[in-house]
Amino acid sequence: MNYKNKSLSVFLSVLLTSFVCSAQDSDVFKRSTTTQLGKNFPQVNDKGEVRASILAPNATKVQLDLGGVKYDLVKDEKGVWTGQSQPQDAGFHYYQLNIDGASVPDPGSMYYYGAGRWGSGIEIPAPDQEFYALKYVPHGLVSENIYFSKITKAARRCFVYTPPGYTEDTKKCYPVLYLQHGSFEDETGWSAQGKANLILDNLIANKKATPMIIVMDNGYSTKPDGNNGGNDKASVFEEVLMNEVIPMIDAKFRTIANRENRAIAGLSMGANQTMRIIMNNLEKFSSYGGFSGTPNYPSSDAIDPATFLNGSFKEGKLINDKIRVLFLGLGTKEGSPFPASIGAFKNMLDKQGIKYVYYESPKTAHEWQTWRRNLKEYAALLFKN
């Protein structure tokens, strides 16, 4: 064998070995970041396949229910059922186990409130997960704030993120972002599933975002008699937010209490709620972020600016003068009605000459990875001179 052929042979051998090792590494299952301490399952590999396991010796059928698809688990001689899914999109997903027809949380997973219940969640490693990773940077604090609502006549709570340095410099005041969850979720979502605090920690550490306070409240608000004025939960939440939450936050935390330093945003249902709130209270907010939702959700009908919210969008210049940042975000894999409804809203904005920022999260659907990316993009735009 001459020198050239030998070199080619060595190169091909190294390349083949590298390919085989990479293929083997991608098949290796590891504990997810959402797996409870001391538990070995659920697990995930580099392909995004999820493996679940549970001891159920008396069960006759066990399935992994993930993304609406059920995967059969196989029972071994010890009564342990194990099985895995097809590759999943990167990011966070809710799931459950189905044992003889009964859907139950996975005892190996940490629990999250979503899909209208406390249940299991799995984190699929994402190529851009660094922006919400727990890093060696200064960290803020997420605190639980319980309050009694005179409007709903019930105890409520919100979670408040204060940025790094808040407790050290007791004279400094901060702008505030009011950030809302989506349907069948609650005030825990943005910090638990959404990693909002870590996203801001990392942005602030890299000087890509202005240090800010974030308030995360529960968008479900009902009056004591259950009469929400035609079951319009958004209007009841608006009343609670404007008359109770904002005054409480301004009194309890060191905020810059003016419209230029107050922003609002939400995902899905929360995007609908917060758009209506800002348009009814332009004297209170200067920026809006709509993640996978608009005021015409769930309809995809075009919006008539002459009738929408009392004609608030009738004059584009007025909105451009009032709103510093109008942000719309969407995942490229989102299904109906979101692309159509957000598209209709964008068309209305274009016709009125209203300025906005539009962002698409690549290869994600109506899910937390989309909304994490949306928050990262939106927060970086806020409270700039």
Q: Which domains does the chain have, with CATH numbers?
A: 30-125 (2.60.40.10), 130-379 (3.40.50.1820)
What is the pLDDT confidence band of residue 319, given thresholds at 50, 70 and 90? confident
Give the Cβ contact number of residue 293 at 10 Å.
Answer: 30
Q: What is the mean pLDDT of the chain?
A: 89
**Is residue 48 predicted with pLDDT exceeding 70?**
yes
User: What is the pLDDT averaged over residues 343-350?
Assistant: 90
pLDDT at 315: 61
**Is residue 4 predicted with pLDDT exceeding 50?**
no
The whole-model pTM stands at 0.89
pLDDT at 193: 98
Share of the chain above pLDDT 70, in %: 86
Contact criterion met (CB below 8 Å) for 33 and 43: no
Of 99 and 5, the structure prediction assigns the larger pLDDT to: 99
pLDDT at 232: 45
Contact criterion met (CB below 8 Å) for 293 and 271: yes
pLDDT at 227: 55
- Specify burial of residue 232 (Cβ count, 10 A radius: 0-12, 13-18, 19+): exposed
pLDDT at 381: 98
Closest CA to 163 of 187, 197, 188, 191: 197
pLDDT at 19: 45
pLDDT at 8: 46
CA distance linking residue 309 with residue 315, whole number of Å: 12
Evaluate the CA torsion angle 237, 238, 244, 249 in order and state its sign.
positive
CA distance linking residue 153 with residue 149, whole number of Å: 5
Contact criterion met (CB below 8 Å) for 293 and 267: yes
pLDDT at 23: 44
pLDDT at 304: 66
For the stretch 65-108, pLDDT in tens is: 998 899 999 999 999 999 999 999 999 999 999 999 999 999 99
Ranges 116-130, 202-216, 303-317: which has the least confidence = 303-317
**Is residue 2 predicted with pLDDT exceeding 90?**
no
**Is residue 311 predicted with pLDDT exceeding 90?**
no
Please list the residues that pair with 66 across neighbouring strands. 69, 95
